[in-house]
Amino acid sequence: MASLVESGWQYLVTHCNDFQLACIGSFLLHESVFFLSGLPFIFLERRGFLSKYKIQTKNNTPAAQGKCITRLLLYHFCVNLPLMMASYPVFTAMGIRSSFPLPSWKEVSAQILFYFIIEDFVFYWGHRILHSKWLYKNVHSVHHEYATPFGLTSEYAHPAEILFLGFATIVGPALTGPHLITLWLWMVLRVLETVEAHCGYHFPWSLSNFLPLYGGIFGTDKGYKRLKSLKENSDLKQT
């Protein structure tokens, strides 16, 4: 496995420069993981598959889903991509490298664990601020346009909120200056986490059921879990 990763990375660093890897490569990786993990939930919702795991009974219309995808593509290519390209000096200042040797799995694991904790802390307090009266009305309300969320709505937000989300994700790596492969792995996990959190389904195999830091550590979902438990107990009593 290690030799396969090293061979793949050798190909990338041979054919791409640092700017292409850090900016264009990161953008393409994000887009691939985001849409490949988020689009299946639109299919599930339209077909009604696995409906017993759906949190809400209401479905979004195809028009609403199409609006979300169109807006996301606009934001990603007109906001995210230019921002990532302009941020290359920041990447270099952070000490992010793409050269060999690759980091050990112990180093990668420790750094990503640290990133989850830092990101959750920053996101929690930032999210609370976004729910203040003025910011909610003028910024955060865009994210709540979809009362019945699906995977892709995780990044459906006002451009100002998109910038905040990017800051919350990058602040951990900014403190450690990781290898680019570590940053990419962190990006993949973070995208999968937020898509799952907004997917509208709660599966028994969801990673949030098994990993304590996955999906947030500040317990903001305790109310939902308590309500869900009460509903399940009520259903059992009725049977």
**pLDDT tens string 108-137:** 999 999 999 999 999 999 999 999 999 999
Mean pLDDT of all residues in 162-182: 95
Question: How does residue 221 score in pLDDT terms, banded at 50, 70 and 90?
Answer: low
Residue 218 is predicted with a pLDDT of: 62
pTM as predicted: 0.89
The mean predicted confidence, pLDDT, of the chain is 90
Nearest Cα neighbor of 179 from 48, 21, 73, 32 is 21
Residue 209 is predicted with a pLDDT of: 82
Mean pLDDT of all residues in 81-97: 93
What is the dihedral angle through the alpha carbons of 118, 120, 124, 126, rounded to the nearest 10 degrees?
50
Mean pLDDT of all residues in 104-108: 96
Residue 233 is predicted with a pLDDT of: 58
Residue 10 is predicted with a pLDDT of: 96
- Contact partners, residue 74, CB within 8 Å, separation at least 6: none
CA distance 205 to 68: 27
Residue 211 has pLDDT above 80, yes or no: no
Nearest Cα neighbor of 172 from 121, 130, 127 is 121
Q: For the beta carbon of residue 74, count every other beta carbon within 10 angstroms.
A: 11
CA distance 99 to 64: 44
DSSP 77: I
DSSP H stretches of helix in the chain: 2-15, 18-19, 26-47, 62-75, 81-86, 88-94, 105-130, 133-138, 159-176, 180-198, 222-238
CB 199 within 8 A of CB 41: yes
